[in-house]
Structure 1
C-alpha cells in the first residue's frame, strides 16, 4: 500500500494519505484528542500505541496524526506509516459503529425555529462549502456547535491538525469570522469550543 504524507500548517501534525478511503466519502471526520477518546476506533487506538502520538484525526481519505513536540517525525513516522498500512490492508473496520455516537454538544438547524433556523442553515452551508474543504486540505476539520441568536455568536471546534495549530485562532477570527459576518450579517463573532 502506498501512503503519501503532507505537511500541515501545524508543525506537530502530519497528514497521511493512503491510496484507499479511510472513513469514506460523505462521512464526517472523527477527532480523537486522547487515547481514551479513541476507544471506538481500532485504527486510532493502534496509532496511540506509537510512542509520541498525542492525537489522531480520521478523515474521509486521510489520517492526521499529531505528535508530542519533544519527538522528531523521523523517529515515529515509519511506525505510523506501518500501522496505517497494516490496518487498512487487513480490512478491519476503522470505526466500531456499535460504539460510535453523535458529537456531543452540537446543534442542528432543527433545533432552531423561524429566522434563526434560516441563519443556522446559512452558517452550516458556508462551513460545508467554503471552510471545510480548506481545512481538510490542511489535515483538519471544523465542527459547528451552536449559534446564539441573542448575541450573534457562532461556536465552532477546530479538529485534527487545526486543533493545535498556532494559526488556528487567526483562522477562526480573521478567516471564518469575517466570511460568516460578510454573508450572514446576524453573526457578530466566532468563538472556539474546546
Structure 2
C-alpha cells in the first residue's frame, strides 16, 4: 500500500489552511461540513470537530481544508492536525462514506460585504452564477426570469436584486437594518446554491447590459474606446463594490456619454461623485477633447 503523505498549504484566507494528500481522498466531488451533526457520514470529520478550534471542514479529491476559530493561530496547531490526518489516511479507512448521497454537499461559500450604498449588501460566492448580468426591480420581473430572485423577493424587506458573475447585490427597504437580516439572506443564498436550484431561467433582452445590448459593429470609434475603457478600468472597481456600469450611448455632437448604473451603484449616494470625479475624469484624460460629460440615465 502506498505511503500517504500530507503537506500543508496556506490559502488567501488566513483562517483556512489545506492539508494536501499525495493520494485521492474522495472520488465524488467535494463536501463541506459546518458542524459535527452534518458529518454523520464521516467518522473522521467528526473526530476533527472534537478539536475546539475547528470551525468548518472541507473535503475534496486530494485535500482537506479546515477553517479555524480565532482562539488559536494555525502555526501553533497545524503540525498536530497534519499528523492526525496523515495517520488516519494511512490506516486505509474511508474519510467519507460516499454511498450516502444525501449527505454530500457541494463546497459552496457565500460571504456578505457592505457596499458604498447603505441600502445594498453584496453576497459573493465561489460558484459561477451567470454569464450575463441581470437586474430585477420587482417580483413580477423575477417571476419571468430568475427563480433565485423570485425567492429573494419573498423576504418582505427586499426591494431589488442584481445578479452578476459571482455575486448578488440585494437592495433593501428602510424597514430593517442590514445587521438584522444579512445573515439570514446569506444563509438562504448558500442553501439555494448548494441545492443546485435554477438561478436564471431566461435573460431578458431589455435587461441585458450594454455589450450585449449594443453591438460594437454599430458603434463609432469613440464609443468603442469608451466601452473598452469602462470594461478594463471601471467595471472591476465597481463590481468589487457590488455594482455595475454599462455603456448606453455617446453623442458626438454634444460629447455626452450616457451610462446605466446597476446593483449597488444604482441610487447610491456617492454615485454622482463616482461619475464626476472618477469615470468622467478618466474618460476625459484618456480621450482628450472627446468627452464633455458623463450622465447616468437611471442613477
TM over 0.5: yes
Mapping of residues 44-59 of structure 1, within 5 Å: 44-59=149-164
Q: Does 1:94 align with 2:199?
A: yes
Q: Which runs of 4+ in 1 moved over 6 A?
A: none
Q: Does 1:118 align with 2:221?
A: yes
Deviations 1:124-171 (A, max 9, x none): 000000000000000000011111121111100111011121000111
Structure having greater relative contact order (Cα 8 Å, sep ≥ 6): 1
Counterpart position of 2:190: 85
Task: Give distance in 2, aligned partners of 1:169 and 1:151.
Answer: 20
Work out whether residues 33 and 54 of structure 1, in 8 Å CA contact, stay in contact via their aligned partners in 2: yes
Work out whether residues 8 and 161 of structure 1, in 8 Å CA contact, stay in contact via their aligned partners in 2: yes
TM-score, length basis structure 1: 0.88
Q: Does 1:168 align with 2:271?
A: yes
Q: Does 1:21 align with 2:131?
A: no
Task: Give distance in 2, aligned partners of 1:2 and 1:167.
Answer: 29
Shift of 1:102: 4.9
Structure 1 residue corresponding to 2:167, chosen from 62, 77, 80: 62
Structure 2 residue corresponding to 1:71, chosen from 176, 187, 212: 176
TM-score, length basis structure 2: 0.58
Work out whether residues 111 and 186 of structure 2, in 8 Å CA contact, stay in contact via their aligned partners in 1: no
Shift of 1:111: 2.1
Counterpart position of 1:34: 138
Show structure 2 runs of 5+ residues with no match: 1-107
Shift of 1:118: 1.2
Work out whether residues 46 and 83 of structure 1, in 8 Å CA contact, stay in contact via their aligned partners in 2: no
Q: Equivalent residue of 1:157, what SS?
A: strand
Q: Does 1:148 align with 2:251?
A: yes
Task: Give distance in 2, aligned partners of 1:191 and 1:143.
Answer: 12
Deviations 1:96-137 (A, max 9, x none): 13x53254795333223xxxx111110000000000000000
